[in-house]
Structures are given as structure tokens and as C-alpha cells.
Structure 1
Amino acid sequence: MEEERIPKYFALKKELIQKIEEEEFIPDDLIPSERELMEQYQVSRITVRRAIDELVTGGYLYKVQGKGTYVKSDAYSQNLFAITSCTDDVRRLGRNPSKKVTVCEIVQADTKRARLLHVAVGDELLWLERVTMADGEPLNYTITYLPRKLFPGIETYDFNTQSLYEVLQKKYGVKFIKSRRTIEAVLTEEEIAEYLDIDEQMPVILFGSTTYGIVQGKELPIESFKCYYRTDQYKFYLEEGTSR
């Protein structure tokens, strides 16, 4: 800690910034609790709260109600092994998520979609396209297909205001279990660039996935999607455990 001549909250604030900049605390890490910081640095709760509040305001930290305070990332990070909702990812970083649906239609499965989703050619699919935004800024553009026979009435939900994964879990009882994914760098097409508010031919990350879940008591492919991620807004990481 700094010497006593400077305010204690300011010294604590500088100490935490140093830990973040030196990557002792990395993005999305849960920092020590108020009580732990009070004991570690021998300061009052008021001092800890003021330091934390200023770091939140300054963009170093974000709070999740009921869970604690986390290190904020300059870019959204996503674990390639995790099945997560984009809406939840944005909320987790303390920003306001929103969606803009550009396509929501019932279409017939072509040969490719039928193979990926284990349905017959001509079966009905929900075709859903949407932009995910954080505080009004576009982050990614997703094109999704789902088998309508597994999710009757799915087209009636307003995915401008509702999370697709929340609807699948809460309304249809889906339990996500695994996904098969590809990732590649591509140049943006004009329409996608317009939705993402970036220059045409700017590189983006294209993420393809077939997601599997338990639905109606069976393990089935429930979703095929591709998602275009802005490279200035996202980074991806792998998190593995050691085998035994």
C-alpha cells in the first residue's frame, strides 16, 4: 500500500489498478470481497467501497448483483468450449444488452440444414437473424436455424426482447449439453458490415456451430448457427482441465 500521506481509498485504488495492469487479476476474475480487502489492507469498509466504486466508474471493474465484483475486459471474451447466451455475456460485463431481429421466418430445410439438424428435407425450420448490441453498439450478427417440430410456436416469441437460449430453456425445457464448432477469419460482406456498423471487407471472426441438447427426453441437434463477430469487440479463449 501507499504511504499514509495520501488518502487510503486512493492508495487502495492504485494498488488494484496495478494488479489489473500486471495481470495478477485478469478479465472476468472475481476480485476479493469487501471483507477480504478490509482485512488484507487494514482499511475501513467505506474506504474499500469508495475505491471499488471509482474503479467501476473508471471502467476497470464491473459488479454482478449477488455475486461480487469482477475485472472488466476491454473486449468481450468467450470460452470456445462454453455454450452461453450472448445476452448473458453482455450482462456479465455490466453493460445493457439488446437485440435487433432482421429475419424471423418459417422455411423448409434444404439438404445441408436437414443433415445438420437430423430432420427431413422439407421439414419446417425457424430461420432467425439478429444483431446483438451492448449499450446500442453492435457486437455480432447471428444466423440461426432450429427445427420447428421440436419447438412448436417458437416463431411467436419476440426475440428483439427475449433471449433465444432463455426461451429454449425455460419454455421448452432444453438442457444444453455440447456443440460442434468451427472458427475462421473472413472478410465481411456488404450486408453484414452494415449491420455491424463496420467497413465492408473488414476482417471478422466467423463462428459456426451445431448445438446439441436434451429435449423431449432425447439428445438431439437443436440449433445450427453461424455468427459474425467484430474483431475489435471480441476475443476467444480456451479453458481446459488436465486429464487424469
Structure 2
Amino acid sequence: MNMTCKETGLALYDQLKSKIREKIETGEWTEGQKIPTEKELCEMFNVSRITARKAIDDLQEENLLVKKQGKGTFIKRSQINQSLEKFYSFSKELTKQGLEEKAEMLEFKIMEADNRIQRIMNISENEEVFVIKRLRLLDDKPYAIEVSYIPVKFTPELTKELVDRNGLYNSLQAFGVKLEHATEKFSAVNLRKEEAYYLNSDFSEAGIKLTRRTYQGTDMVEYCSSIIRGDMFTYTVDLF
């Protein structure tokens, strides 16, 4: 359908930007959707290629659109902000924001801690740990893969069913584990093939690697390594 940008006193590229915004705000074009090409926009709105390119470039600078090399231009997904001012649970914090968050179990097993986990968690050789790998989803859209390592000695009766039903932290606390404090480390990464597959994203897209060490006193009760979609989350630290 051809739609002409009308004379409104605004530059043509500003008029085109307004029309693209309108399609996004009304839900006609949705988050993550690929928008028409420059050529198609020219035909739809009766504008020049230069005007279409200028409108797209401006909307990209305004963080509304994102260009993906060789794939096209897409509507950027809304980002969820997480404050880092206190100990938090992803699921509880997102629920507070009115978002439907859930976790899908990918793996639940017990194994002897390897050298890396022994070193990170300061546990002895041959000590057993739970390995709990989950895919986390927001409104049924995957946003993170996380793997938690928990020494079996703290919660020997922990089961997959309990974690599925009550969540990991609720299950740990039900067994008397006190989650007193945690440290987190963030770094930028590119998604690997397996991660991109689970997160329904493109291989080598930007992601956030988050590692968390959770303590009860001086004992590390959980080591968690997560890969989070970089286009869905931001983190805020309040400095006083």
C-alpha cells in the first residue's frame, strides 16, 4: 500500500520517522520484527532513498531500530533494567515489574566437581555438586541461560521437581540455607552457537556474561554462570 508523506512543515525524513514510530507504537510492527527495506519504504511512503536512509539512521541513533549486517533493520527490543544496589533474585525482581518470568529446566544432575569448580568454590577434590542448567524466559521469550553449581552437602535432598515448582533460591532457603550476600562480575561476550540457539538470537550477537558467587557466611553455596541477551537487559549501579 502506497502512503505518501504529506506536507506538514516537517522535513520529509521527520515525517517518515513519525510514520515508522506510529507503526511501532500501535503494534502494527512489533519488537524484534524486521522492517521494510529502504527501497520498500520509498515505495510505501513515496520518498527518496536518501530520505528513507536518513530516517532509519536517526531512529537507530534514537535506539528504536537496530541494523544487523547482511540481515536488515529490526525494531529494537525493549530493555529491562536491573538495579545492582542490593542482593536480588531475577525472577522476583522481574515479577515486581509486572513481567511474566519463568525458567525451563535444561539439565539437573549431580557430579564430582572438576578442577575449575573446586578452585572457584574452594571445595575439596571428589566433592559432589548439583549442576542445574536453566533457560530463563520473559513472556515466553528466552533472555538468559544460566548454570548453577551447588555443593550437595548443603542441600542433599534437593530435586529437579522442587526447583521446577518453587524456584532455586526458595528451595535452598527451605532447606535452611541462608543466602546472605553475593558478588557479581559482568563482561561483554559474543554468543556462541549453542547459546544463540537457546536464546533465539543470531550467532555472534552481543551478550552479557554474568557470574555470581552467593555466600552463607564464608561458605560459597552457589556459583552461577549466566549468558544474557545484550539487547534485552541493562544494569544500573547507584553511587552515593
TM-score bin, normalised by smaller chain: 0.5 to 0.7
Partner of 1:90: 94
Q: 2:131–2:147: 8 Å Cα contact kept in structure 1?
A: yes
TM-score w.r.t. the length of structure 2 is: 0.63
The percentage of aligned residue pairs carrying the same residue is 22
Amino acid at match of 2:216: G
* In the alignment, structure 1 residue 228 sits paired with structure 2 residue 227: yes
Specify which of 131, 149, 152 is matched with residue 153 of structure 2. 149
* Structure 1 spans left out of the alignment, 5+ residues: 1-73
Find the aligned partners of 1:96 and 1:208 in 2 and give their Cα distance. Answer: 23
CA 1:112 to 1:91, structure 2 compared with 1: closer, same or farther past 3 Å?
same
Give 3-state SS (helix, strand or coil) of 2:154's partner.
Answer: coil
Specify which of 169, 182, 200 is matched with residue 185 of structure 2. 182
Find the aligned partners of 1:86 and 1:80 in 2 and give their Cα distance. Answer: 11
Specify which of 196, 216, 219 is matched with residue 193 of structure 1. 196
Look at both structures and tell me which one has the larger radius of gyration over its CA atoms: 2
Partner of 1:69: none
* Structure 2 spans left out of the alignment, 5+ residues: 1-77
Give 3-state SS (helix, strand or coil) of 1:160's partner.
Answer: helix
Q: 1:116–1:221: 8 Å Cα contact kept in structure 2?
A: no
Q: CA deviation at 1:132?
A: 1.0
TM-score w.r.t. the length of structure 1 is: 0.63
Q: How does 1:66-81 map to 2 (within 5 A)?
A: 74-81=78-85
The worse-fitting range, judged by mean Cα deviation, of 156-165 and 88-97 is 156-165
Q: CA deviation at 1:111?
A: 1.7
Find the aligned partners of 1:229 and 1:97 in 2 and give their Cα distance. Answer: 14
Q: CA deviation at 1:116?
A: 2.2
Q: How does 1:2-81 map to 2 (within 5 A)?
A: 74-81=78-85
* In the alignment, structure 1 residue 211 sits paired with structure 2 residue 214: yes
Amino acid at match of 2:223: S
CA 1:118 to 1:155, structure 2 compared with 1: closer, same or farther past 3 Å?
farther
* In the alignment, structure 1 residue 128 sits paired with structure 2 residue 128: no
Specify which of 106, 111, 115 is matched with residue 115 of structure 2. 111
Equivalent pairs, count: 164
Partner of 2:106: 102
Give 3-state SS (helix, strand or coil) of 1:200's partner.
Answer: coil
C-alpha offsets along residues 86-139 of structure 1, whole Å, 9 cap, x if unaligned?
Answer: 211221111222111111000111122112223212111000110111110112
Partner of 2:175: 172
Q: CA deviation at 1:234?
A: 0.5
Find the aligned partners of 1:82 and 1:198 in 2 and give their Cα distance. Answer: 30
Cα RMSD for the two superposed structures:
1.9
Q: 2:163–2:171: 8 Å Cα contact kept in structure 1?
A: no
